Structure 1
Amino acid sequence: MRNTFISALLAASIVLTGAAHHAHAATNDDYLPMASAAISTATAKIVDGKVDVNGVRYHYLLAQGKQDGTPVVLLHGWGSTSYMWRYVMPQLVARGYTVLAPDLRGLGDTSKPATGYDKANVAEDIRALVAKLNLGPQVNVVGHDMGGMVAYAYAAQHPDEVRTLAILDVPLPGIEPWDQLVQTSRTWHFRFYSVQDVPEMLIAGHELEYLKWFHNSEAVNARAFTNEVEETYAREYAMPGALRAGFEYYRAFPQDVKANQAFSATKLTMPVLGIGGAGSFGPIIGDHLRHVATNVEAVNVQGSGHWVAEEQPAVVTGALLRFLPPAR
């Protein structure tokens, strides 16, 4: 697992290093990639491991940056695993950040329990993982899709332990305009995945075909999803129990709505960054997050749909580097 995964991270990051100037010209972004030698050195620092937290065997990627630097925790969403950070993670490590990228409960190489997929509970998993790996007392949390929902629950439950929060292209359950969004064609899959047993029955055995279709249906820059990328995700979602676990994140939405409405009674005060694709939630993410936080910045990523860190990784990396506190 490690050799294949780390090799993929290195290859992807070198591609980003060579291509980022095009993204710079297209987006007026001031991000400059590290040289390939620096990325190679950073990638060599990334190790993968497994540890038990909250009764779940968590798989994670971890790279130690500068001594005493505030760590960055990267949380993926549905249709992805920690592999989604293959462009962003080495760039952060190369600049001295300590970076943790776990596979969430039930997904990737993390074990797949039957229950516990409400975002407040998964946030407690991640907090326990941070503690187990001695990365506290404060972390910067970045989450995409379901990982963004988990990131918010982490910050809302433990605001003194989250220095900054970044949420990538996802609405928070129960927070305006959630009720309107879940009735639109844009979120059709929220309703489909919430049906017990049926999505698993229909998609099992067709993970590659389905994920190819789903990734491209939500992408603007579909070139981000090569055959190699799709095959990687298909293998991970074809693991026993992975489809069911992934859909349990959607089936937990009623719990998440109640939790978030209670959390939002006290607005977050740490810096919050919303990053969304212009072809997805980018146009609304800033206003949406202002319902739960007082200090919000927003970035609307041109040339991207939902999968911002894979469709426009240079833009996302640049936005994070401007937002995160400096690596000490």
Structure 2
Amino acid sequence: MTADWTHGQTIVNDVRLHYVEAGDPADPTVVLVHGFPEFWYSWRNQLPALAEAGYHVVAPDMRGYNRSEKPHGVAAYRITELSADVADLCREFDAPVHLVGHDWGGGVVWDVAARTPEVVETLTVMNAPHPARFEEVLRSSADQRKRSWYMLFFQLPWLPERVVTALNCRPIDRMLREGTVTPGAFTEEDVARYREAFQRPGAATSAINYYRSVFREGAKDRIPFVSAATAEADVDVPTLLLWGEQDAALALELTEGLERWVPDLEVVRLPDASHWVQFDAPERVTEELLGFIGAHR
């Protein structure tokens, strides 16, 4: 963590987002989008490495998280709103940008690339399934449905917030530290930072509303993904999918068959990494990122 980074905030899509910025603004921009239950700090290893490699790096707190604004209501967390936030942020920092997302951030950047490809130079997704493939696998795989049980639990009112924040956010601690396969991937200081961010007023409800919105608003927001029989693609930018194979929540088969929707696709599977791939294998992830975006610089 040696980068000379700064904190800032901006209004995008009528919502105030906090972000951390590193590197020279004159250099090509990389936007890093975190997942659940995270915030900008999830990119603490990649921020300095990318800046030192000659990139301008921006890592926002997504709406509802940490220091960003927390709109009320489930509808405020529809994928169309989240996608518009990131697309506007890319425009503010001289789009097209190299766009990177993990987990929920990965779901959002898939959507950004499909709806607003003009803001994306390259797309990198980490352990977040392409939405059309996820629907396929969820319908056909009892194993994936079992892995996704928590999504149904998150549909309940108020109880999920109570559970995940119980005992000083002990469930968040377990999710992070027991979910990784590399000893010490999350330090005591790291986990304390995640707890602090998740315990900010409104943060737990906002984060869980991401999942509630999928069930309540998702049908309205679905992109008309093209069928496998057509030659057209819904994500037509150079794309890298990085996938930790030890993911407890997402089956490995989600990485297969994506060429129907993403023709310019490279898939890199990391057998010794979990869902928290950038923590289990930070140096490898940075290496893959630099190689991929450097090839399209």
Distance 2:170 2:193 in 1: 13
Q: Which residue of 2 aligns with 1:293?
A: 262
Select the residue among 22, 32, 55 that pairs with 1:97: 55
Q: 2:20 aligns with which of 45, 61, 64?
A: 61
> Does the alignment pair 1:121 with 2:88?
no
Please list, as runs of the form range in 1=range in 2, the aligned pairs for 1:66-215 lying within 5 A after superposition. 67=26, 69-115=27-73, 116-132=76-92, 135-175=93-133, 176-180=136-140, 184-215=145-176
Q: Which amino acid aligns with 2:270?
A: V
CA drift of 1:270 comes to 1.2
Change (3 A) 1:303 1:257: farther
Quote how far apart the aligned CAs of 1:194 are: 2.4
Residue in structure 2 matched with residue 49 of structure 1 by the alignment = 8
Question: In structure 2, what is the equivalent of residue 267 of structure 1?
Answer: 234
Q: Unaligned 5+ residue runs, structure 1?
A: 1-9, 11-39
Instruction: Deviation per CA, 1:6-50: give whole Å up to 9, x if none.
Output: xxxx2xxxxxxxxxxxxxxxxxxxxxxxxxxxxx3xx11x11111
SS at match of 1:218: coil
Q: CA deviation at 1:293?
A: 0.8
| Segment drifting more, 256-265 vs 212-221 | 256-265
**For residue 274 of structure 2, what is the aligned residue in structure 1?**
305
Q: CA deviation at 1:173?
A: 3.7
TM-score by structure 2 length? 0.87
Q: Using the aligned pairs only, state the percent identity.
A: 30
The answer to whether the Cα contact below 8 Å between 2:98 and 2:123 also exists between their aligned partners in 1 is yes
Structure 2 CA distance for aligned equivalents of residues 209 and 89 of structure 1: 27
Q: CA deviation at 1:181?
A: 5.8
- Give structure 2 stretches of 5+ with no counterpart: 228-232
Q: Is the 8 A contact 1:190 1:250 kept in 2?
A: yes
Residues 174 and 197 (structure 1), Cα distance of their counterparts in 2 relative to 1, 3 Å cut: farther
Number of equivalenced pairs: 284
Deviations along 1:77-97, one digit per CA (max 9) or x if unpaired, are 002111010001110110001
Secondary structure, counterpart of 1:171 in structure 2: coil
Q: Distance in 2 between matches of 1:264 and 1:251?
A: 26
Higher strand share: 2
TM norm structure 1: 0.80
Matched residue type, 1:50: Q
